[in-house]
């Protein structure tokens, strides 16, 4: 009977995964909680801090379920931290949470769960699994403001068939209400949207990267190639950045519109130069047949969608703000993930 199935619930120490475990327990599953210890360095944020492990264990105790800690630090370094540093060396902007989900949380964890005799795993992600005639598909959460399908877009049908996302049909307010009604340790805990191995303190990203790579001093130039100022590290500049470039003052505001580590230059221009009708894309993958009509495209974890068609590039219906190379572009049709690609340099 399905209700008697064993299920391994990934508990990050947050309210979402806590409620996910509680919901599944109420549905009759044999629930076991697990917290993945991923980052071996100091951490004050994300899902890797010591306090998060403690919170997860306390919730498991409250629910009366077993709780374990799996150390996946080696895989995390290899598949998440090292590629994150390598991408910045090339001037790209990666999304480490996507790679963590791809290689660790939904690969290594699945393999460990199988070895331990678990048929199913579950997480507290805000997304839904939709069973269609052609198979299982990933859909957006009921709470679009908290939707996390973007960072789960790489899940395949085989993985989705073994996965439960028990809070995908709940709003965040409903999740907190359930946690409060059960007096869970994490009921009032704030959400974390930070990279777990980067300190949330000011300058945390730069300090981390300085410890792992050499920085490239560079020049700030305009679209005609005229030198304006210098920056201490080209890799620390982001598309759309205005401050810290030595371009403030009178006249029209100017923003970073291109970053080139190879030539050690940051090109600045007016806000209009940040908008393009097309975005280059590589590694396009479709779930099913390619779709030639307009789709909803999302290009950042906390961003909004915009309409576009996919060819060998993203062809926007309306001019779209430039997307940093290295970011994932996820394609949706009526709220269901139908494909993805990686934004590349023009």
Model pLDDT for residues 240-271, shown as the tens digit of each residue: 999 999 887 767 899 999 999 999 999 999 99
The residues, ordered by sequence, that sit 6+ positions from 140 with a Cβ below 8 Å of its Cβ are 127, 128, 147, 149, 332, 335, 336
Question: At residue 288, what are phi and psi to the nearest 5 degrees?
Answer: 95, -155
CA–CA separation, 308 and 297 (whole Å): 7
- If pLDDT is split at 50, 70 and 90, which confidence band does 192 have? confident
Model pTM above 0.85: yes
Q: Where do the DSSP E strands lie in 290-327?
A: 295-298, 305-310, 313-321
Give CA separation, 340 vs 3, 181, 296, 328, 344, in Å: 34, 39, 11, 7, 13
* Crossing angle between the packed helical segments 172-181 and 15-26, to the nearest 10 degrees: 70
Three-class secondary structure of residue 228 per DSSP: strand
What CATH number has the domain spanning 215-269?
Answer: 2.30.30
Whether residue 186 has pLDDT greater than 50:
yes
**Which residues are tagged catalytic?**
100, 196
The residues, ordered by sequence, that sit 6+ positions from 126 with a Cβ below 8 Å of its Cβ are 16, 141, 143, 146, 147, 148, 149, 165, 167, 168, 172
Three-class secondary structure of residue 142 per DSSP: coil
- If pLDDT is split at 50, 70 and 90, which confidence band does 3 have? very low
Q: What is the pLDDT of residues 84-122, one digit of tens each?
A: 999 999 888 889 999 999 999 999 999 999 999 999 999
Tokens encoding 38 = 């991923």
Which residue, chain included where needed, has tokens 């590589």? 282
Which residue, chain included where needed, has tokens 């990933």? 138
Question: At residue 48, what are phi and psi to the nearest 5 degrees?
Answer: -120, 0
Question: At residue 145, what are phi and psi to the nearest 5 degrees?
Answer: -70, -25
Fold of the CATH domain 2-181: Rossmann fold (3.40.50)
- If pLDDT is split at 50, 70 and 90, which confidence band does 1 have? very low
- 335 near 275, Cβ under 8 Å? no
CA–CA separation, 227 and 268 (whole Å): 10
Lowest mean pLDDT among 48-57, 252-261, 267-276: 48-57
Three-class secondary structure of residue 121 per DSSP: strand
Per-domain residue ranges of the chain: 2-181, 215-269, 274-343
Looking at residue 335, its pLDDT comes to: 96
Strand 163-164 and strand 120-122: pairing?
parallel
- If pLDDT is split at 50, 70 and 90, which confidence band does 203 have? confident
- 100 near 109, Cβ under 8 Å? no
CA-based nearest residue to 305, from 344, 338, 271, 266: 338
The residues, ordered by sequence, that sit 6+ positions from 33 with a Cβ below 8 Å of its Cβ are 8, 9, 11, 21, 56, 59, 60, 63, 65, 66, 67, 68
CA–CA separation, 97 and 31 (whole Å): 25
Fold of the CATH domain 274-343: Elongation Factor Tu (Ef-tu); domain 3 (2.40.30)
Tokens encoding 126 = 């805000």
Q: How many CB atoms lie within 10 A of CB 265?
A: 17
């Amino acid at each position: 009977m399905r209700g008697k199935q064993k299920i391994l619930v990934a508990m990050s120490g947050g309210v979402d995964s806590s409620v996910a475990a509680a919901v599944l327990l109420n549905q009759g599953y044999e629930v076991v909680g697990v917290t993945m210890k991923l980052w071996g360095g100091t951490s004050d944020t994300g899902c890797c801090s010591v306090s998060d492990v403690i919170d997860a264990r306390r919730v498991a105790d409250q629910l009366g379920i077993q709780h374990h800690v799996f150390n996946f630090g080696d895989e995390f370094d290899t598949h998440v931290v090292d590629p994150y540093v390598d991408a910045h060396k090339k001037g790209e902007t990666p999304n480490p949470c996507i790679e963590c989900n791809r290689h660790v949380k939904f690969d290594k964890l699945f393999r460990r769960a199988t070895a331990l005799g678990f048929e199913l795993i579950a997480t507290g992600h805000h997304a839904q699994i939709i069973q269609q005639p052609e198979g299982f598909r990933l859909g957006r959460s009921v709470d679009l403001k908290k939707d996390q399908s973007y960072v789960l877009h790489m899940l395949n049908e085989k993985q989705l068939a073994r996965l439960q996302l028990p809070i995908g049909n709940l709003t965040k307010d409903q999740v907190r209400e359930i946690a409060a009604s059960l007096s869970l340790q994490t009921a009032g805990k704030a959400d974390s949207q930070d990279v777990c191995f980067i300190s949330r303190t000011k300058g945390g990203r730069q300090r981390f990267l300085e410890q792992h790579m050499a920085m490239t001093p560079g020049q700030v130039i305009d679209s005609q190639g005229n030198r304006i100022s210098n920056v201490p590290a080209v890799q620390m500049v982001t598309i759309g950045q205005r401050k810290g470039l030595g371009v403030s003052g009178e006249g029209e505001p100017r923003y970073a519109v291109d970053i080139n580590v190879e030539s050690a230059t940051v090109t600045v221009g007016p806000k209009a130069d940040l908008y393009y009708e097309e975005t280059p894309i590589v590694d396009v993958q479709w779930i099913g047949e390619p779709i030639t009509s307009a789709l909803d495209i999302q290009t950042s974890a906390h961003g909004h969608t915009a309409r576009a068609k996919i060819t060998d590039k993203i062809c926007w219906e309306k001019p779209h703000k430039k997307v940093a190379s290295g970011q994932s572009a996820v394609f949706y049709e009526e709220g269901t993930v139908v494909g993805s690609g990686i934004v590349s340099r023009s």
